[in-house]
Amino acid sequence: MQELVENLFRREAGRMVASLTRSFGPGNLSLAEDAVQEALIRALRVWPYRGVPPNPAAWLHTAARHYALDQIRRAAKQPGLEPLPLSEPPSIDDTLQLILLCCHPAIPPESHVALILKTVSGFSVAEIARAFLSPPETIAQRLVRAKRIIREQGLQPNPDCLEAVHAALYLMFNAGYPAGGEHCEEAIRLTECLLDAGLGTADTQALRALFYFHAARFPRPVAPYRAVLGYRALEAAMQASALSPWHLEAGIAAAHLWRPIDWPQIVMLYSNLHDVKPTAIVRLNWAVALSQAGENEKARAMLAAIAASGELNGYAPFEATVRAGLL
């Protein structure tokens, strides 16, 4: 029972938080999270005795909403406070609005993705810390500060933060890869929502192409069709005046679908990607591509430099590369 509830909660938590935040205002983001957590606790208490309801997701949404309303009514009884009115139905997806809020320019950039992984994807502080290779205390402090800024400054969703939104969706997708889990599907859905709402750009199309090319490798019947969608999105993305990292990564993902794989082409794309995104993770993938292309000396030199820098200490893919004997 607990596993069933937790799996359902993981899938629905982000949408529940987004819906409650839209209803009760961004200043009540922490309340929305508390309400969703309370709904989980109630499910774990009630369902083992009364059975799983016919629509468990709706039950959780209702329980979370009732808890939030109760808390607001209690606060409204205090002198000087008025009940918070519900907002009008949104013109764009609730979860996308929450992401636009989390990426507001007033919030420090290093907190954007952490806030999204916590509120939208339901990650724990410990899981986010592992993703960032940071101490949990650092992540917890960033989250507290970000929520304080939202509350004290009365922030609202801001559509002028596309670069941060793209980065957040990219990390959301990566959180579900390579298993092809729900985080991947949600990142794809939200990218589509961004374009449907008229907020996307050629870079958004490139990100969409990247997601579809990766999704084409998932073990699902629809996977081959997603490659077609990826090429269509990449064609639309080529309207950009300059190539973004998403364009180059989409090209790399597409090249992995070719048979045989053109490793020299992938090496060239990684070289171009490193020019605009000079990170240790890009260098790691570049080194692996060099090895596959037969340029073993260059690959080993690059991996040795990464190891000497210590930038990827504790990063599982780097450690796996070392264990594979490439270094």
d(CA 216, CA 276): 26
Count of CB atoms situated within 10 Å of the CB of 49: 6
- Give the whole-angstrom CA distance, residue 132 versus residue 238: 31
Residue with tokens 């995104």, as numbered in its chain: 277
Is the preceding peptide bond at 178 cis, omega within 30 degrees of 0? yes
Residues 239 and 251 in one domain: yes
Residue 139 resides in a domain:
no
Which of 209, 226, 255 lies at the terminal end of a domain, its last residue? 255
Q: Is residue 136 part of a domain?
A: no
Q: Between 9 and 233, where is the model more confident?
A: 233
- Compute the distance between CA of residue 265 and CA of residue 269 in angstroms, rounded to an integer: 6
Same domain, 190 and 214: yes
Q: Does residue 146 belong to any structural domain of this protein?
A: no
235-284 pLDDT, tens digit per residue, is 999 988 888 999 999 999 999 998 899 999 999 999 999 999 999 999 99
Longest Cα separation, the chain: 74
Q: Is residue 302 part of a domain?
A: yes
CA dihedral (318, 118, 124, 10) positive or negative? negative
Task: Tally the domains of the chain.
Answer: 3
273-326 confidence digits (pLDDT tens): 999 999 999 999 999 999 999 999 999 999 999 999 999 988 888 888 888 777
Residue 51 has pLDDT above 60, yes or no: yes
Q: Are residues 205 and 263 in the same domain?
A: no
DSSP letter at 27?
A: G
The answer as to whether 129 is a domain residue is: no
DSSP string, 281-295: HHHHHHHHHHHHTT-
Domain of residue 193, residue span: 185-255
**Domain stops at, among 33, 59, 84:** 84
Q: Any idea which residue has 């949408």 for tokens?
A: 15
230 and 247: one domain? yes
Tell me the three state secondary structure of residue 148: helix
Same domain, 6 and 50: yes
Element containing residue 7 per DSSP (H, E): helix 2-24
User: Is residue 248 within 8 Å of 269, Cβ to Cβ?
Assistant: yes
In this prediction the pTM is 0.79
Whether 83 has a pLDDT exceeding 60, the answer reads no
Residue 327 scores a pLDDT above 50:
yes
Q: How many helices (H) and strands (E) does the chain have?
A: 16, 0
Whether residues 6 and 79 fall in one domain: yes
In a domain, 224, yes or no: yes
- Does some domain include residue 195? yes
